[in-house]
Amino acid sequence: MSMDDSREEQCTCPPALSGAALVAAADGEADEATLAHLRACPQCAAQVRRLRSLQGRLLRRLYRLRCPSSDILVDYCQGLLDPFQRAAVAHHLDLCPHCAAEVALLERAAPIADVVGFSPRGRMSALLP
Ligand SMILES: [Zn+2]
Ligand SMILES: [Zn+2]
């Protein structure tokens, strides 16, 4: 009965957990009463699992959003980005020691690569271990 799918999440052991309690449980911060409820109630436990995997996906996406790709960093070093992108990367470099270190490495390597005449991508792979 696929029409009942949306009702599957309803709690079978009222009172149902609040949204805040479900989020706390997904974060591993549930109190005893919440944990006891989750042991008795597969519906709420399933909700917590769903929240947990959602949080994992969001974190991964945020991490990727925050760090520009290596290609972007190479373009940044070569001045190929438009002003908006350039400002965004510069702002990111202030906050992110990993990318700042990568740019420092790229900028150190660039003059040598220019002499050798590598393409930007060749330059990048020359830097990789
Ligand atoms: Zn429940
Ligand atoms: Zn970064």
The Å distance, Cα 19 to ligand 1 centre, comes to 11
* Exposure class string for 57-86: b at 16+ Cβ within 10 A, else e: eeeeeeeeeeebebebbbbbbeeebeeeee
* pTM score: 0.42
The Å distance, Cα 1 to ligand 1 centre, comes to 21
Is residue 129 over pLDDT 70? no
In 3D, which of 115, 103, 113 has the Cα closest to residue 76? 103
Measured CA to CA, the distance from residue 56 to residue 64 in angstroms comes to: 13
Most confidently modeled of 6-10, 58-62, 71-75? 71-75
11-15, 58-62, 78-82: least confidently modelled range: 58-62
Ligand lying nearest the CA atom of residue 17 = 1
Ligand lying nearest the CA atom of residue 93 = 2
When the pLDDT of each residue in the chain is averaged and rounded to a whole number, the result is: 77
For 111-128, the pLDDT digits (tens) are 554 544 455 554 445 555
The Å distance, Cα 113 to ligand 2 centre, comes to 23
**83 preceded by cis ω (within 30°)?**
no
**What H or E segment, with its residue span, contains residue 30?**
none
pLDDT attached to residue 33: 93
The Å distance, Cα 108 to ligand 1 centre, comes to 58
The Å distance, Cα 128 to ligand 2 centre, comes to 17
Kindly list the domain boundaries of the chain, sorted by start residue. 2-64, 67-127
Measured CA to CA, the distance from residue 97 to residue 66 in angstroms comes to: 12
The Å distance, Cα 70 to ligand 2 centre, comes to 10
Average pLDDT over residues 34-38: 95
